[in-house]
Structure 1
Amino acid sequence: MKTLQKTILALAITFTTTYSFAQTAYEKAMLPKVQMIEMPKANPDDYTAQANDFARIGDKEKTLWQPYYYAALSIIKKGRELMQKNQVAQLDDVAKEAQNYIDKAEALSPNNAEIFLLKKMNHGLKMMVNPMERWQTEGQAAQQALAKAKELDPENPRISILEAEDLYYTPEQFGGSKSKGIELFKKALEQFKTYKIKSSVDPNWGQGEANYFISQAK
């Protein structure tokens, strides 16, 4: 009996060690890059390099959605920086590149709220090429993606972040409100206190942005 127990224990330790090693190898590749995802880059091309790093991990792992998610997010962040510099002519190409990664992530993890939030942001980039002309198409598609994310994961703080951005940046005559945006950033921070991610490499960004906007309002 003792021999059997020792054998089972040895097998359990071997399995746990092997699993932990495999998980750690993936996390070692991912975690440093994930932790840098909110850091501003020196120039837009740095976001492309970051996306390529994540994509290489995704191509190696083949079954995990997170690398392609972060590749898409990196390209979207590149687009947002170009938008701030008023280089909107490039946004269609940027959004097309991001969509390629979004599609790969969604194929591995359908009905994932985080991926619908990527879609929301990506439609927003395309809308900004010509807001007046594209609101009825890209603007509506962005809101539909946001609504789907809320249906799938209503307490996700990144939903509140994106809603806050919309209110903050939209002129008051079109329904925007900086003060209401700030309230949603505060809501997001409260949600972060209780929101649980499923793994150490799942999306957890947004607190830095919320804190920044709240500090600007003080």
Structure 2
Amino acid sequence: MKKLFLTTLLAISVSTFAQTAFDKVMTEKITKMEQAQTPEELTALSNDFARIGDKEKTQWLPYYYAAHSSIEKGRKLMRTGKLTELDAIAAEAQTNLDKASALSKDNAENMILQKMIHSMKMMVDPQARFMSEGMLAADALSKAAKLDPENPRISLLQAEDTYFTPEQFGGSKTKGLELFQKSLDQFKVYKPKTTLDPTWGKGEAEYFLASKP
């Protein structure tokens, strides 16, 4: 009985140590991702997260952050007009997001990234791709909203789409700012499920609200 107790205690200790080590390295990488300034930094981080995922095998968050790092790289390139690179970056993100989704089904955070991937692909040629990638993006965000309606990142992406879409196509800067405010209000009360779950987006909502006329 004593031997069984010691074996169980040892197993618990090893498991706890492994989880603590995982949490530590993930927290460090997430912090670096939040501070990354260049596409090269984000590429390296995406690769790091993917390697963690391959090692852990059962954790969805490393693959989620691998995909998110690629998406953020694409968004940086988008702002500088380098649209021809976006399809390849979207494919990188999709590979890792598929792995995250296989490990955590019906997950709103994964659907939010799926929306961002489709939006990125649409931006390569908006006129030609709106009816394909644009519709897929809207569908992914709708699924996320059904899974987690109070998630502030859903309102944030809705705010982006509304704010940047020309009025003749249904956009509105006023309505966009209202949605940014909704997102910010949600951020104040929304609780991530774990310390490693996504928390990004609040700074963007604050930025747009601070910049309004």
Q: Structures share a fold, TM > 0.5?
A: yes
Q: Distance in 2 between matches of 1:165 and 1:31?
A: 27
Corresponding residue for residue 19 of structure 2: 23
- TM-fit CA distance, 1:32: 1.5
- TM-fit CA distance, 1:171: 1.2
| 2:79 aligned residue (76, 81, 84) | 84
Q: CA RMSD in A?
A: 2.1
Corresponding residue for residue 197 of structure 1: 192
- Indicate the structure whose relative CO is greater, using CA pairs within 8 Å and at least 6 residues apart: 1
| 2:167 aligned residue (168, 172, 176) | 172
Corresponding residue for residue 115 of structure 1: 110
Q: Distance in 1 between matches of 2:77 and 2:71?
A: 10
Q: % of aligned pairs identical?
A: 55
Provide the TM-score with structure 1 as the length reference.
Answer: 0.90
**8 A Cα contact 1:54 1:71, kept in partner:** yes
* Deviation string, structure 1 residues 19-46 (Cα, Å, up to 9, x no partner): 43222110111002213333341x2122
Aligned length: 212
Q: Which amino acid aligns with 2:63?
A: Y
Instruction: Work out which of the two has the higher radius of gyration on C-alpha atoms and give 1 or 2.
Output: 1
**8 A Cα contact 1:29 1:57, kept in partner:** no
| 1:136 aligned residue (102, 109, 131) | 131
Q: Which structure 2 segments of 5+ residues have no match?
A: none
Please say if 1:50 is aligned against 2:42: no
- TM-fit CA distance, 1:119: 0.6
Q: Distance in 1 between matches of 2:33 and 2:201?
A: 10
| 1:207 aligned residue (180, 202, 208) | 202
| 1:35 aligned residue (31, 35, 47) | 31
SS at match of 1:104: helix
Q: Which structure 1 segments of 5+ residues have no match?
A: 1-6
Q: Distance in 1 between matches of 2:179 and 2:36?
A: 23
Corresponding residue for residue 154 of structure 1: 149
Q: Distance in 2 between matches of 1:205 and 1:117?
A: 12
- TM-fit CA distance, 1:95: 0.7
